[in-house]
Amino acid sequence: MVKLHILGIAGTFMGGVAALAREQGHRVEGSDQNVYPPMSTQLEALGIALASGYDAGHLSADLDQVVVGNALSRGNPAVEHVLDAGLRYTSGAQWLAEQVLPGRRVLAVAGTHGKTTTTSMLAHVLDAAGRDPGFLIGGVPENFGVSARLGSGAEFVVEADEYDTAFFDKRSKFVHYRPQVAVLNNLEYDHADIFPDLAAIERQFHHLVRTIPGSGRIVANGHDANIARVLGMGCWTPVERFGLDPAFEWAARPSRPDGSAFAVLHRGTPVGEVAWSLLGEHNVLNAVASVAAAAAVGVPPAEACAALAGFRSVKRRLELVAEHGDIRVYDDFAHHPTAIRTTVAGLRAATRGRVLVALEPRSNSMRLGAHADELAPSLEGADAVVFLQRPELPWDATRVVAALRGEGVAVGTVEALIDALRARVRPGDSVVFMSNGGFEAAPRRFATALAG
């Protein structure tokens, strides 16, 4: 047993690392700058001591190792203390690779969108098949109630993020995992703070492909030209494509337009039916990917499809947080125009009422304005949009608002955002809050305001 301090412990990945280390019997403490649910709730339940801020004094004197999250950089007081004191340190991805993954059959889910949901689906399918998989997921799946566990089975499912590993290791996190099965869900430009262009991200995905053995399996989105280009750089592993085209090895045939029911086909032959509570074409594709990945380790497709009927989504993935009369309030993690578009489209297909969106551009790419020109088109399906333009946002959101198809307004505070939504909402509406941060608990505050 060792004592660890985890810097950035409230992040979804590092919080999962903390949970795994605690389950292994290690003593765990940590610190972070911004703490909000669902990870803060998980850490509390695990009894892990959590300090707010990166003061060097938060690191105990008897530490064996410091695990450093990728949000921390040189100049951070805790980082400078680790280096000056000569403390033993590693990254979260490297710790996972060395302490948890050896001896396991690793299934990794990579892609710009849908990683968390697809990883959760795959873990759920394996669990329903009696495999008792371990997993580390960048969110909290409702079926499990925790973002990570060791599991007793051979398989370990990991959300494979392309973001860089740490201030001292600029490779993508996923190159550490050495999976036997990899899902390549999709690939678009993102993470403008670390990648200069799409080609740089494709190169990192190529590095991931280089680590997958010839005896393994790659499950790749057959519709994605960027994924095809990555595989064209060199591939030494059998590839199975998935999508909506029945010519692919794995395909979906929707039976309802909102994505709530569909058949799964393997090499053109129906192998299972799914009827579930999730919405949207993107989730249909996530499901087919999870069925294909589970089949690669021996789970019969019909069994996987049956398991998906009982899948409950991930917290903050179009999570219904409140209903007031016939007004429904959702919390969603969407942080990229494509994710925004697919979420709005799924909600639009499932409701007869209006769709109102409250949007906070919080991801690094969003704050830098890398996706500003794509935002208005991505919100085409919304009837009204309230845009949170905090004073520190370095670009003018009014040009996005002006380009919206529906009604739009930009406000400077969450309080003003809630007031603007209250002035616009009417019976039958669905209101979805979109941010990859805490959003100052705006969805629940809005629901409380409705009830009051």
- Structure tokens of 82? 């680790």
Three-state DSSP class for 206?
helix
Three-state DSSP class for 264?
strand
User: Whole-angstrom Cα distance, residue 66 to residue 18?
Assistant: 11
Nearest alpha-carbon partner for 217 in 190, 200, 235:
235
In angstroms and rounded to an integer, the radius of gyration of the C-alpha atoms of the chain is 22
Q: Which residue has the tokens 């058949």?
A: 263
3-state secondary structure 206-248: HHHHHCCCCCCEEEEECCCHHHHHHHHCCCCCCEEEEECCCCC
- Structure tokens of 387? 């845009």
For residue 3, the cross-strand partners are: 27
CB of 43 within 8 A of CB of 18?
Answer: yes
Nearest alpha-carbon partner for 357 in 438, 421, 427:
421
User: Whole-angstrom Cα distance, residue 319 to residue 71?
Assistant: 26
User: Whole-angstrom Cα distance, residue 331 to residue 315?
Assistant: 8
- 376, containing H or E segment: helix 372-378
CB of 347 within 8 A of CB of 318?
Answer: yes
Residue 219 — φ and ψ, nearest 5°? -105, 110
Number of helices (H) and strands (E) in the chain: give both, helices first.
15, 23
Three-state DSSP class for 82?
helix
User: Whole-angstrom Cα distance, residue 82 to residue 87?
Assistant: 5
Known binding residues for ATP:
111-117
CB of 161 within 8 A of CB of 115?
Answer: yes
Known binding residues:
111-117
| Terminal-to-terminal C-alpha distance of the chain | 51
CB of 294 within 8 A of CB of 396?
Answer: no
Dihedral sign computed on CA atoms, order 283, 165, 68, 32: negative
